[in-house]
Chains A and B, each alone.
Chain A
Amino acid sequence: MLEITNLSFTLPNQQTLFQNVSVTLHQGEIVGISGASGLGKTTFAKVVTGYLPAESGEINCKRLKNTPHPIQLIWQHPEQAVNPKWRIRKVLEEAGPIDQELLEELQIPFEWLQRYPHQLSGGQLQRICIARCLLTDPSYIIADEMTTMLDPIAQAEIWQLITNHVQEKKIGLLIISHDRLLLDNLCEKIIDFRQYVKPLDDNSRNKHEGVRTHERTT
């Protein structure tokens, strides 16, 4: 069970982004996080997966030296998440030995492995990123706006593939998305991220215009 307790993060300009976030995620459970743009959802995901240091708080899942992190993050932009100078085979092999069955499950033809990232489309590349994430055999996955740039059909396909796999392998899945309908469909529990964000005072709102402009009364 993944337990995140009282996680806080402060920006370099001393402004608190989110405070005391507590989330529990069981293996095989699908939980959603929703909230408007700029609330710090992606930063939260990066802190949990160890890309950024937390300011305070506890995560009961840490990376051991020279092993993949047990919580894997799937990034929003797959074209930034793969080395453009590598062939797909190498991208996948970085995570671990290639599993033929997994590739078939994700509908990745063997022929793609010899291509370069620019020879695949965004949706295809995102499937590669999912495959790479699953090859590390993670206990938990955080999907950060994983399908925002895809059309509805491709989205449905990808979510079907990943939810099947997650339930079969008992992996905890945390979905970050704006799309309330998507979360309603997929998740057992939805957390509203707004409750962890301190309202900005007028002073800093002027300084950072456009950072958090959502209505807080809804």
Chain B
Amino acid sequence: MKKNMMIPLFLFLTCYVLSFLIKDTISLELTNKNQAPSLSHLFGTDWLGRDMLLRTLKGIQLSITLGVVTALLSTSLGLLLSLLAIVHPYLDRMLSWLIDLFLSLPHLVTLILISFVLGGGFKGVVIGLMLTHWPAITRVLRAELLQLQTMPYIQISKQQGKGFWWRARHHFLPHLFPQLMVGFTLIFPHAILHEASITFLGFGLAAEQPAIGIILSESMQYLSSGMWWLAFFPGVTLLLMMLLFQRFANAFKHHLERDRSYEHYFNG
């Protein structure tokens, strides 16, 4: 039980921390350019002779930071908005309209628009991703809250003089937690992939930032000349990191939702 959770988390964090130890500048060795994977360069080298393993790790670090920040921001935004929706039916109508509006537009179009207006870069991409990924989770949370509100124990809580935020914290949050967790784990890889695609299109991160999206989009030009390792290894690494994270999130959810009936509430 504990092992299921700790091993993926440990591997994930190791990769993440490891990438911080790498120097910011990866040396160019033009004599070693376009090398296939070997023992001295596990992931091969690119057209400038840069070691692809180091570049991938650096890229993963940036992508994970971006994914976590975005997923966190959009789930919190979703939670906040769905709570507002149950304050008053009027707010609920407004929110539903807003959700419909955002869902009716393709993610990528809105994302490009927002990111472009904000001038691109890390900030632009994060805000763009946050503003495009909240509607799905908000809709799920809102439905759950509307149902919870009709439960007798919520009405009793109200009648016992508890305020809205007290109820939100003690009654709603424990019930919403599984949805929040699932929403977070779904948005996280989604955000990274969208970041990669928007960068690929040229509206996202600047070319000198070593994000996975940049690495992949650059490698596209070299794929036809047989340099498969430029795209293969970064892609597989990204996939592995996603799987590790998903494993951890799943185990964590099970851990939090375990049957506590026979655990001691009081110390001792």
Separation of A181 and B153 alpha carbons in the complex (Å): 30
Q: Mark A59-75, 1 if CB is under 8 A from B, else 0.
A: 00001011111001101
Q: Is A136 an interface residue (CB 8 A)?
A: yes
Among listed A24-32, A83-91, A146-154, A193-201, interface-contacting one? A83-91
Most-contacted residue by chain A among B151, B155, B170 (CB, 10 A): B155
The answer to whether A80 touches B175, judged by C-beta atoms less than 8 angstroms apart, is no
Q: How large is the interface on A (under 10, 10 to 19, 20 to 34, 35 or more residues)?
A: 20 to 34
Contact B160 A95 (CB under 8 A): yes
A residues less than 8 Å from B160 (CB atoms):
68-69, 94-95, 136
* Chain B residues near A68 (CB-CB < 8 A): 159-161
B residues 155-172 near A (Cβ < 8 Å) are 155-157, 159-163, 170-171
Q: Which of B218-226, B238-246, B257-265 contacts A (4 or more CB under 8 A)?
A: B257-265
Q: Which residues of B contact A119 (CB under 8 A)?
A: 261
Of residues 76 to 112 in A, which have CB atoms within 8 Å of B's CB atoms? 77, 80-83, 85-87, 89-90, 94-95
Question: Which residues of B are found within 8 Å of A90, using beta-carbon distances?
Answer: 170
A87: min CB distance to chain B, Å: 6
> B119 at interface (Cβ–Cβ under 8 A)?
no
A81 and B161 form a contact (CB under 8 A): no
What is the distance, in angstroms, from A118's C-beta to the closest C-beta of chain B? 8
Task: Closest B residue to A71 by CB, please name it.
Answer: B159
Instruction: Mark interface residues in B140-182 (1 if CB within 8 Å of A CB, else 0).
Output: 0000000000011101110111110000001100110000000
Kindly report which residue of chain B lies nearest to residue A87, judged by CB atoms.
B265
- Give the complex CA separation of A66 and B163 in angstroms: 7
For A95, the chain B residues whose CB sits under 8 A away are 160
A90 CA to B171 CA in the complex, in Å? 11
B90 within 8 A of partner (CB): no
Chain B, Cβ-Cβ closest to A96: B160
Choose among B159, B162, B171 the residue that contacts A73 (Cβ–Cβ < 8 A): B159
Cα A94 to Cα B175 with chains together (Å): 17
* Residue of chain A at shortest CB distance from B259: A116
Tell me, yes or no, whether A49 is within 8 Å of chain B by CB: yes
A56 at the interface (CB under 8 A from B): no
Closest residue of A by beta carbon distance from B263: A114
Indicate if the CB atoms of B159 and A116 lie closer than 8 Å: no
Chain B, residues 103-143, CB within 8 Å of chain A (1/0): the string is 00000000000000000000000000000000000000000
State A63–B153 Cα separation when bound (angstroms).
18
* Complex CA distance for A118 and B262, rounded to whole angstroms: 12
Q: Are A83 and B161 in contact, CB atoms less than 8 angstroms apart? A: no
Cα distance A172–B174 when bound, in Å? 36
Complex-state Cα separation, A156 to B159, whole angstroms: 28
Q: Check if A159 is an interface residue, CB within 8 A of chain B.
A: no
Q: Which residues of A contact B261 (CB under 8 A)?
A: 115-116, 118-119
Instruction: State whether B264 touches A114 (Cβ < 8 A).
Output: yes
Q: How far is the CB of B98 from chain A (nearest CB, A)?
A: 27
CA distance A90 to B29 in the complex (A): 65
Bound: A50/B175 CA distance, A:
25
Residues of A within 8 A of B159 (CB): 49-51, 63, 68-69, 72-73
Give CA–CA (A87, B160) in the complex, Å. 18
Which of A67, A82, A89 is within 8 Å of B265, CB to CB?
A: A89
Query: Could you say which of B159, B170, B175, B265 has the most chain A C-beta atoms within 10 Å of its C-beta?
Result: B159
Q: What 0/1 pattern do residues 53 to 70 of B give for CB contact below 8 A with A?
A: 000000000000000000
Distance (whole angstroms) from the CB of B2 to the closest CB of chain A: 23
Sample of 8 A–B contacts (CB below 8 Å): A67-B161, A69-B159, A75-B152, A83-B174, A85-B174, A94-B162, A114-B264, A116-B261
Lowest 9 A-B CB distances belong to which pairs? A114-B265, A80-B152, A85-B174, A68-B160, A67-B161, A68-B161, A83-B153, A81-B152, A69-B159
- Interface residues, chain A, with chain B CB atoms under 8 Å away: 49-51, 63, 65-69, 72-73, 75, 77, 80-83, 85-87, 89-90, 94-95, 113-116, 118-119, 136
- Since A83-B153, A136-B160 are in contact, a sample of 7 more A-B pairs with Cβ atoms closer than 8 Å, ordered by chain A residue number, is A66-B161, A80-B151, A80-B152, A83-B174, A86-B170, A113-B265, A118-B261
